Amino acid sequence: MADSTSSDPRIVTEFLNGARMRMRQGRLSLKTERAYLQRMREFVEFHGGKHPSELTGEDVGAYLTHLAVDRSVAASTQNVALNALVYLYRNVLGVEMPQATGVVRAQRSKRIPCVLTQDEVRRLLEHMSGETHLMASLLYGAGLRLAECLDLRVRDLDLEKRTITVRDGKGGKDRTTMIPAKIVPALQVQMGRSKLLFDLDRRLDRPGVALPGALERKYPNAGKEWPWHWVFPAETLAADPRTSTQRRHHVHEDRLQRAVKKAAKAAGIAKPVSCHTLRHSFATHLLEQGYDIRTVQQLLGHKDVRTTMVYTQVMVRSGMKVRSPLDD
């Protein structure tokens, strides 16, 4: 990796390739890897292609301020950029990042999450079918994030006990949540479909599914075992973005996102509905039913109960807890 100042794009590319290799050695998720590389590239290009080892704390602060002031990014985006730079200096260059100075912090928005009524959830699901209906039912019925639903493996479901183990969720935490009783038959059918694709891959001696963390090195054949297979496998094979190996992945997130948007429009729901709206609705409806906030916190996998508290504001704003004097 070059140490001298250079605006040569080949030097930048070489530098980023080295960062990518280090992140893959560290087993960062593909999503995190892409986000960090984007911010690292921006940081280098913002400073005219200078190598980060030549930059000061003022330079770091100037880039972060540029994001907040000139780009008007959200506070979370600025935090991702900061984390990317900390990783860059600490794990790629092997030094501590210079103390950022003069940083203008992006303002953290205090938005109330969009929540559907139970009738709106019913109408939404009525306009969905098949696999996407089942996935949307899990987002709402178990409070899953989109990625958590897609990442489900056979071993994560216990249909007899009606529980889901969410592994390595946000923040690297595992948790357990429920499987709604009414979708157990549909999940059994889905497992049968998944088994057909699994058996096809084994007959054709195809590579196994990708495994999390360092498990693929530790247990090289585990990806060919049924417990590790996807609950929602894709119909066709695709190249692994890390290794270029043709293997079976889970269904792409765009499929469910498009299906939810289409169903919301067909149901006449005049709200900005996304997959995450179903998770928000899960939490709010549990609180409305009288479940205590600590229980809801555990089901959602929130580290801090203050994150869960936002749903109590949704309840108040929707009139669930406060009666208008006009109604009297």
Give me the active site residues, please. Answer: 145, 170, 276, 279, 302, 311
Contacts for 74 with CB less than 8 Å, ≥ 6 apart: 106, 108, 109
- Beta partners for 164? 157, 177
Site of tokens 């790629």: 92
HEC profile of the chain: CCCCCCCCHHHHHHHHHHHHHHHHHCCCCHHHHHHHHHHHHHHHHHCCCCCHHHCCHHHHHHHHHHHHHCCCCCHHHHHHHHHHHHHHHHHHHCCCCCCCCCCCCCCCCCCCCCCCCHHHHHHHHHCCCHHHHHHHHHHHHHCCCHHHHHCCEHHHEECCCCEEEECCCCCCCCEEEECCHHHHHHHHHHHHHHHHHHHHHHHCCCCCCCCCCCHHHHCCCHHHCHHHCECCECCCCEECCCCCCEECCECCHHHHHHHHHHHHHHCCCCCCCCHHHHHHHHHHHHHHCCCCHHHHHHHHCCCCHHHHCHHHHHHHHCCCCCCCHHHC
d(Cα 180, Cα 120) in Å, to the nearest integer?
Answer: 18
